[in-house]
Homo-oligomer: A and B are copies of this chain.
Amino acid sequence: MGDRPISTIFSVGTELTEGTILNTHFRFLGAELKGLGFFTRKAVQIPDDPDIFREELREALRASGLVIVTGGLGPTSDDLTRETIAEVCAAPLRFDQAIWDDLVQRYAARGRSIAQTNRKQAQIPSGFSVLNNRVGSAPGFCGVDGACTVMALPGPPAELEEMFLREALPLLQTRFFSSRGAAVEMVATAIMIPESVLEQALQEARGSDAAPRWSTRVAEDRIVWTLRGSPRRRQRRVYSALLKRFGPLRIREGDVQPSFLPYRILSQRRETVAVAESCTGGLISKLLTDIPGSSRVLWGTFVTYSNESKIRLLGVPGEMLQGAGAVSQEVVSAMSQGLLEHTPADLALAVTGIAGPEGGSREKPVGTVWISARYRRGAHLCQRFHFPGNREAVRRRTAVAAFILAECALLGTDGQLEY
């Protein structure tokens, strides 16, 4: 805890306390506040009940330097965040004409007329300032009660996250950390590095200094980390230490999604990829086509889940499947070769492996995966992996590794990927 300012987070909504929807705000705000330098003493979900909210809010205002409230800003009668904050902070609601004009205009732009019940959304507590909402309609607001900063943010995660990063975060940096150079931040991505390993590496790289601090956001295919609270050169030192330790394939500057690595290059070159998936069963394709506009890049995919489809669709010799086995360098190499022969694609990407829980053996345990990335006018990279984890984890790791090897083949760099 030390000398860190203390924060309390509230999420308001009966749909949360009754478990109808999953609350992702605590993870997002918890990580961001940690990265800024706050100590979050509690994060509380409460139903749409003014009595409970009033009592909790009073306690939090006494005990915290920052209170963030999410949700309950909509136009329906359930939504009570505005009223309760106004009451507890003794800051009566005032109608803000500028907010209203903006709301009317937004509705008009979508060809809809605004209901009078929405007037409620143009009210904010007196003395509070507006936090603009660029994604949805309800604006947030921020003010001060005694020694405590109070912020209200909208419930929908996309609106909340955008508003926090763009409007709230700079404000908090100035108010709480102005003397510590907190405004400088650096975003980076770790790929195929477990959470605990990354955390330890960051700690070792920082050494005994108090800064930089970091927040991490764990996604399915990567961890995005943000360094804050120290001069840029110290952040660069930490980044360089990680780069040196894990190599340039797994540490990237900025927020880098693995599927974008080959996509971006193919898209720039106006080239295409064909994919042959065995153990991943369509996941590589699914991730590539999550990107809007990927139809220009993905020529097509064969999910050759059975031996027979490997033979018939890709021309893998039956004797090879019998001899070396479906999970082998020979077969994965024949699969990518088959792709180049059967399609006009510029890049061929093939994977075969044992995702489990069944199918493992002593020589080829569950998690054994072969990946081949073959660029028509360039390199052929072929590598074996032993991925830990269950079926889902093995499949996900295979897809991520395939994207990195594909990037390496396209760039002509050596793709020996450690894991």
Contacts and interface: CB of A to CB of B under 8 A. Distances in A.
A43 interface: yes
Interface string A1-25: 1000000000000001111111110
Interface in A1-57: 1, 16-24, 26-34, 39-47, 49, 52, 56
A226 to B, nearest CB: 12
B289 A300 contact: no
Contact of A42 (B24, B46, B280, B281): B46
A207 interface: no
27 contacts: A16-B26, A17-B26, A17-B30, A17-B41, A19-B30, A22-B27, A23-B26, A41-B46, A41-B52, A42-B45, A44-B45, A275-B303, A281-B289, A281-B294, A283-B286, A285-B286, A289-B305, A290-B392, A294-B305, A298-B303, A298-B306, A300-B303, A300-B305, A300-B308, A300-B309, A301-B301, A312-B343
Given A47-B40, A305-B301, A343-B309, A286 B286 contact: yes
A292 interface: yes
For the residues of A in contact with B, the DSSP-based class is: mixed
A293 interface: yes
Given A281-B298, A308-B344, A19 B32 contact: yes
Given A20-B195, A29-B19, A343-B309, A43 B40 contact: no
A216 interface: yes
A281 B285 contact: yes
Tell me which of A16, A29, A306, A357 has the highest count of chain B C-beta atoms within 10 A of its own C-beta. Answer: A306
Nearest to A44: B44
A5 to B, nearest CB: 14
A31 B42 contact: no
B41 A31 contact: no
Interface of A: 1, 16-24, 26-34, 39-47, 49, 52, 56, 195, 199, 215-218, 272, 275, 277, 280-286, 288-290, 292-295, 298-306, 308-309, 312-313, 343-344, 356-358, 391-392
Nearest to A53: B42
A358 B358 CA distance: 41
B19 A27 contact: yes
**How many copies of this chain sit in the oligomeric assembly?**
2
A153 to B, nearest CB: 15
- Residue of A19, A23, A39 with most partner-chain B CB within 10 A: A19
Contacts of A17: 26, 30, 40-43
B19 A31 contact: yes
A393 to B, nearest CB: 12
A17 B27 CA distance: 7
B312 A305 contact: no
A148 B309 CA distance: 61
A277 B289 CA distance: 11
Given A19-B215, A290-B392, 15 more contacts: A1-B49, A19-B30, A39-B47, A40-B47, A41-B47, A42-B47, A44-B45, A272-B306, A281-B294, A289-B303, A292-B358, A300-B303, A300-B304, A302-B302, A312-B343
